[in-house]
Amino acid sequence: MYCPVDRTIELVTISVDGISIEQCGKCNGHWLQHGELARLAQRDANVEPVVSITRLSIRPCPEDGTPLTEVEFPEHSGLRVDVCPKCQGIWLDAYELGQALTLLGRTAPHPKASAPTSSVLDMLARLTGKRRTSS
C-alpha cells in the first residue's frame, strides 16, 4: 500500500495499543481500515459519529484506488479526514489520529505525579539556602 498523499512512499505497519495500522514515514499520516478507529477509541464499532461530506478528495484509497471523500468528522468539529466510500477506510493526516480519538471521547492516560525523593528535596534546600521541613 502506498501513501495517498505522496504516492511513492510505501506505508509501514505499526502497532498502536495492540492494533495494527499503516503509517507513512514521510508525512506521518495514518491509514485505518474500517472499524480500527472505533477499536482505538475503545468504542463499539457500530457507534460512528455523524459526518458530513465536504468534498471529493484527489487522494486515492491505499487499499483499492477509489477516490477518497473528504468529510468533517464529527460534524462541526473542524477535523476533516479522508474516507473511502468503498471500503470505509480512513486516512488521517499527521496529528489527526490524536484529534479523532479525542473527539470520540478517548482521553490520553495521565502520568502519575510522583513526589520528589528526600535526596532531591535536600539538594534543593542546599541550592536555595532554605531549611527543609520534615513531611
Model pLDDT, residue 52: 64
Half-sphere exposure at residue 58, Cβ-oriented, CA atoms within 13 angstroms: 3
Model pLDDT, residue 73: 76
Contact residues for 4 (Cβ-Cβ < 8 A; gap 6+): 29, 31, 59, 60, 61, 62, 68, 82, 91
pTM listed for this prediction? 0.71
Please give the distance of CA 4 from its chain centroid, rounded to a whole number: 17
Burial of residue 88 (CB within 10 Å: 0-12, 13-18, 19+) is middle
Bridge pairing between strands 67-72 and 80-83: antiparallel
Model pLDDT, residue 27: 95
Q: What's the grid cell of residue 56?
A: 471529493
Q: What is the pLDDT of residues 41-75, one digit of tens each?
A: 887 655 555 566 678 888 999 999 999 998 887 76
